[in-house]
A = this chain, B = another copy of it.
């Protein structure tokens, strides 16, 4: 790595691996829409104990941005992104399951992505990274699991983008239980529009430099705006109304048309945290992967795809205030999964927190997951 490469080093290298392990996949790794990666590395964390017959593996697929650090551990005591959901006696019970969570292929927390160095050039991939699909993410996970000696899953669980990954996994690996949370069988125009505007905000920032930004001129303005556009779809108008009303910010002002209401300060606070925490190009690739996903491509229709899904039982959870993946899409997914005769439980929660409710309203989600994961299969 020469000085020029160091200069281009993206901020994700500030990330500390913590409790992460790494698995190197045998290359080249072919991508679904063409192109390949000479080498793929996946970061992952695990909780619980792998049974001697390896029949207790629960694969947890993350949303677009989280790390593999879903829960704290001795090696990394910081709280994970689903801390309250996972552990001994918790909904995702580590006394029973060996839980494994990968950082997404295309991500920036240890797994190979657009910010990783291309061994062929010694420079970061940037936009030379091939088009990424959810199926590629799932294929990388499948290969990573195989390299760890795991070829079947007791369960796969995924919220949001992770729900799509879980569906793709269940198409290609024997899976007993499939839980899809606040996700969808495919992205529809409103979700595509939200994602498209987020990408446009990033691409419009002169700091993006056609994808070849460096550490000293991150597309921070575009990333902040992209995050805020996303937040329009992550929570709900009802929640914000209760939290913020028309309260004004204290101690802001001076900037022409700058933040004035509390809700604007809230958006600014979260957006600012995100700029240094996530790589802009990774955001572009992963968000487009969501838009490209359509379960129906696996067989020609949703029903035919459902027939290829290996899961013996499924759970679908939707939230009535979710505008990114509205409940009618999740009802449809449950119906489709049920159409091939497998038992499918569908739950529609009225949590106020919208799309993000699974991260916040643990009390509502945990009993559903717990029941589903502990109930004997028929």
Contact = CB atoms under 8 A, between A and B. Distances in A.
A323 interface: yes
Give the size category of A's interface with B: 35 or more
Contacts of A70: none
A245 to B, nearest CB: 7
A193 B246 contact: no
B190 A232 contact: yes
Contact of A188 (B196, B205, B237): B237
A259 B190 contact: no
Interface stretch (A14-22, A59-67, A72-80, A221-229): A221-229
Given A187-B246, A256-B210, A232 B196 contact: no
Given A228-B197, A284-B257, A190 B221 contact: no
Contact of A261 (B196, B201, B244): B196
A38 to B, nearest CB: 21
Contacts of A190: 232, 237, 240-241
A184 to B, nearest CB: 11
A299 interface: no
B186 A246 contact: yes
Given A232-B194, A257-B199, A237 B189 contact: yes
A231 B190 CA distance: 10
A241 B187 CA distance: 10
A240 B210 contact: no
Contacts of A259: 196
A291 interface: yes
Nearest to A287: B257
A192 interface: yes
Given A240-B193, A244-B189, A206 B206 contact: yes
Given A193-B240, A221-B204, A225-B197, A188 B246 contact: yes
Nearest to A242: B189
A106 interface: no
A267 B196 contact: yes
A127 interface: yes
Nearest to A284: B257
Given A229-B229, A240-B193, A211 B245 contact: no
Interface in A102-118: none
Interface of A: 127, 186-190, 192-194, 196-197, 199-201, 203-206, 210-211, 221-222, 225, 228-229, 231-232, 237, 240-241, 243-246, 256-257, 259-264, 267, 284, 288, 291, 294, 323, 326
23 contacts: A127-B256, A188-B237, A188-B241, A188-B245, A189-B237, A189-B240, A189-B241, A189-B243, A189-B245, A190-B240, A192-B246, A192-B261, A192-B264, A193-B228, A193-B263, A197-B225, A197-B228, A200-B225, A201-B225, A203-B256, A211-B256, A225-B225, A323-B323
Given A186-B246, A188-B245, A190-B240, 11 more contacts: A188-B240, A188-B246, A189-B246, A190-B237, A192-B264, A193-B228, A193-B232, A193-B240, A200-B225, A225-B225, A323-B323
